[in-house]
Structure 1
Amino acid sequence: MVQVTEMKDGIFIGFGYNSTVADGDSIWKFLNAWSEICSKGLVSEAACLRRLQLKGWFFDEIDYPIRIPDPEAKPATVTASSSLLQELMFHVTKENALKLEAKANDEKVSSFQAALAHIWCSMVKHSGMSREEETYCRLPIDMRRRLSPPLEEDCFGNVSQTGIARVTVGELMDNGLGWAAGKINEMERSQTHENAVASAEKWVRDVKIPVSVGSRDLVVTSSHRFDVYGNDFGWGKPIAARAGPPYVCGRMVVFQGVEEGSLDFQACLHPQVVEKLSEDVDFKEFVSL
């Protein structure tokens, strides 16, 4: 669903889609091609070479049919009302992302992983959780090229799965940025074909309707790799990108920043955590609110 609204000083384009049909990679590539058609009246040779892979696909080893439970039979639990949460933007410049990468002191860690680890550590630091509690960093992983055999990069659909880095609060606080970034990197590297098959088999055996996550989770959606600001529908390039609901505590929607190499995180947190982050000098050294 797409809605275009003319505003006093610009044009707002809103869109929504069901993630059972397509993931973020598919949707942003669709928008990239659509905007190119609108602004230029044609599709580039590179875009023409991209063919939507519409053939139905699932793991051969998985038995059918898949029994989907009635979502109304057991309502999903909600951990926090959106009225009790505060939404704000975190901005990390390219320079600060590289500084965090260097501070992590691990050649395998990317600047994005280091920035995410910095936010995760800071959020948990002010969460009020005990050292024994577990905290999770959930991150969507594009599995197209990780499968065996790999799928085409332009395969349209939902070919992502959620990777979860699990640690205790005490471990996170004691070991710091480099260790946390390493855990995120380790989790990403563990997403293999075998891991995906095992997850699919488990899901088919016991299909669960997604429920709200708890305040201990850092739930990352979208990706800094999606081409957001390259879209031009004929009215000029975008000046900002924002995500809509659902509003759950700990959700962190990632966008590439307007400036090349920078990162934007649309965060949804408890007001008391936001207040403490706004006063945290160490956090604000690398992140602007």
Structure 2
Amino acid sequence: MNSQSVKHISELAANNRARLDPPLSGDYFGNSIHPINSEAVTAGELLQHSLGWAAWKLHEAVVKLDDREIRGFVDAWLQSPTVYLLGQFFDPYMVMMGSSPRFNMYGNEFGMGKAVALRSGYANKFGGKVSSYEGRERGSIDLEVCLPPDAMSALECDEEFMEFASVPQY
């Protein structure tokens, strides 16, 4: 079997807040996320299409998540409750997107000026974890990518990826 025919899936942690009916209150302090999978595609399909096509596949998976699916998951969990363990829902051999560019990470100012960069800390990190945040500059997005060194080097050499990624100069 060659890599062109192996099916790959991306997993995301989707925010449930606005998907629930009624939506969670803005005052709710905590996470309400649901693991979702994109449509399985081959490496060959990924290579034939653009980065935008791959992003659209992820978008389709997010759009399908609704109140009915979330409540079904919760009802099933109530029938057989378990404690969440890292890796229980997310396959460590896939890319997992987390966080959100909707959080104003640069909004806190502690008297030293606006932060130059932010990182989310050590918790829940593994190879393949990507966190996205609203960027420092208006309209930008910061990505925190956790990969083994050899995979990170390969990503940095990928011209199509680097076309969309940039490092700000301060």
TM-score bin (small chain): 0.7 to 0.9
* Offset from partner CA, 1:78-127 (integer Å, 9 cap, x none): xxxxxxxxxxxxxxxxxxxxxxxxxxxxxxxxxxxxxxxxxxxxxxxxxx
Counterpart residue number, 1:111: none
Determine the structure 1 residue equivalent to 2:6. Answer: 133
More deviation in 251-260 or 152-161? Answer: 152-161
The partner residue of 2:34 within 154, 158, 161 is 161
Q: Alpha carbons of 1:145 and 1:284: their partners in 2 closer, same or farther (altered >3 Å)?
A: closer
Which residue of 1 is the match for residue 62 of structure 2? 188
- 1:228 aligned residue: 105
Rounded Cα–Cα distance in structure 2 between residues aligned with 1:215 and 1:209:
15
Q: Is the 8 A contact 1:140 1:221 kept in 2?
A: yes
Residue 219 (1) aligns with residue 96 (2): yes
Which is higher, the Rg of structure 1 or of structure 2? Answer: 1
Alignment of 1:44-55 (within 5 A): none
C-alpha spacing 1:171/1:215, structure 2 compared with 1 (3 Å): farther
SS in 1 for 2:39: strand
| Conservation of the 8 A alpha-carbon contact between 1:145 and 1:153 | no
TM-score where L is the length of structure 2: 0.79
| Amino acid in structure 2 at the alignment position of 1:285 | E
The Cα offsets for residues 29-87 of structure 1, whole Å up to 9 and x where unpaired, read as xxxxxxxxxxxxxxxxxxxxxxxxxxxxxxxxxxxxxxxxxxxxxxxxxxxxxxxxxxx
1:239 equivalent in alignment to 2:116 = yes
* Corresponding residue number in structure 2 for 1:148: 21
Deviation, 1:197, is 0.9
Unaligned runs of 5+ in 2: none
Structure 2 vs 1, CA of residues 270 and 132 (structure 1 numbering), >3 Å: closer, same or farther? farther
CA distance in 2, matches of 1:233, 1:253: 23
Matches of 1:160 and 1:190, distance apart in 2: 14
Q: One-letter code of the match for 1:236?
A: G
* Aligned partner of residue 95 in structure 2, secondary structure: strand
Contact 1:241–1:255 (CA under 8 A) maintained in structure 2: no
Residue 266 (1) aligns with residue 140 (2): no
How far off its partner does 1:226 sit?
0.4
Give the match for residue 74 of structure 2.
200
Partners of 1:268 and 1:138 lie apart in 2 by: 15
TM-score, normalised to structure 1, is 0.50
Task: Name which structure has the greater RCO, CA cutoff 8 Å, separation 6+.
Answer: 1
1:1-289 matches, within 5 Å, as: 130-168=3-41, 169-206=43-80, 207=82, 209-212=84-87, 213-214=90-91, 216-245=93-122, 246-288=124-166
Q: What are the ranges of 5 or more consecutive residues in structure 1 without an aligned counterpart? A: 1-128
Counterpart CA distance in 1 for 2:158 and 2:114 is 34
Q: What is the number of equivalent residue pairs in this alignment?
A: 161
The share of aligned pairs that are identical, in percent, is 32
Distance of aligned partners of 1:145 and 1:255 in 2 relative to their CA distance in 1, 3 Å threshold:
closer
- What RMSD in Å do the two structures reach over aligned CA positions? 2.4
Contact 1:214 1:249 in 2 (8 A): no
Give me the whole-angstrom Cα distance separating, in 2, the residues matched to 1:205 and 1:156: 25
